[in-house]
């Protein structure tokens, strides 16, 4: 069963308020304040404008699907699938030319209790095998999932720290009229 909701998703999610064994889907954009904050941070390396100004010329689209399950020894846990698509502003590390970088990736994350993650079986791993799939291992504290922290971490695991104008998949941004030479 799938449940689609248009209610805004907060940066934190209470597992106990989620339906059991039903997928919930959300589409997030920069219109959500905490998602806009993530995009502004992604735009911080583009110095020709402020991150707030770049916000209008860049995008961050996130599709989240999650399902809550219960398993005896694990208790309640949340499985989250995320697809992220973005164009963010930055600068070429060699020429300092303003440019826009594409960022596209998918992640499957499992949020389990801290007690499970700290157990002997999982304390030295960053992945967990559940429901026939491998999931990135995250914890929830007192049934609170920090969605924004997981998304932030995944963005910066996939972020290009050394963008070059001559390397794909970047797109050079046109200069604003007041910047033309």
Distance CA 43, CA 120 (A): 40
- What tens digit of pLDDT does each residue of 38-63 get? 999 999 999 999 999 999 999 999 99
Is residue 36 included in any domain, yes or no? Answer: yes
For residue 5, pLDDT beyond 70: no
- What tens digit of pLDDT does each residue of 64-112 get? 999 999 998 889 999 999 999 999 999 999 999 999 999 999 999 999 9
Number of domains in the chain: 1
Is residue 177 included in any domain, yes or no? Answer: no
Is residue 62 included in any domain, yes or no? Answer: yes
Is residue 34 included in any domain, yes or no? Answer: yes
Select from 101, 104, 87, 103 the least CA-distant residue to 165: 101
Is residue 159 included in any domain, yes or no? Answer: yes
- Burial, 98: exposed, middle or buried (Cβ in 10 Å; 0-12, 13-18, 19+)? buried
Is residue 108 included in any domain, yes or no? Answer: yes
- What tens digit of pLDDT does each residue of 107-143 get? 999 999 988 888 888 888 899 999 899 999 999 999 9
Domain of 77? 2-165
Q: Report yes or no: 68 and 76 within 8 Å, Cβ to Cβ.
A: yes
Question: Sorting pLDDT into bands at 50, 70 and 90, what band is 8?
Answer: low
Is residue 46 included in any domain, yes or no? Answer: yes
Is residue 45 included in any domain, yes or no? Answer: yes
Q: Report yes or no: 15 and 67 within 8 Å, Cβ to Cβ.
A: no
């Amino acid at each position: 069963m799938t449940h689609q909701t248009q209610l805004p998703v907060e940066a934190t999610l209470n597992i106990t308020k989620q339906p059991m064994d039903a997928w919930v889907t959300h589409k997030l954009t920069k219109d959500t304040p905490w998602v806009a904050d993530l995009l502004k941070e992604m735009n911080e390396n583009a110095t020709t404008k402020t991150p707030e100004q770049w916000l209008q010329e860049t995008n961050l689209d996130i599709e989240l699907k999650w399902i809550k399950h219960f398993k005896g020894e694990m208790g309640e846990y949340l499985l989250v699938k995320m697809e992220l698509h973005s164009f963010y502003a930055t600068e070429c590390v060699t020429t300092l030319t303003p440019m826009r970088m594409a960022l596209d990736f998918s992640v499957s994350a499992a949020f389990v209790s801290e007690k499970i993650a700290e157990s002997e079986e999982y304390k030295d791993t960053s992945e967990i095998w559940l429901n026939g799939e491998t999931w990135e291992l995250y914890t929830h504290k007192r049934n609170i999932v920090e969605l924004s922290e997981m998304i932030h971490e995944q963005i910066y695991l996939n972020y290009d720290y050394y963008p070059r104008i001559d390397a794909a998949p970047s797109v050079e941004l046109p200069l604003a009229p007041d910047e033309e030479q």
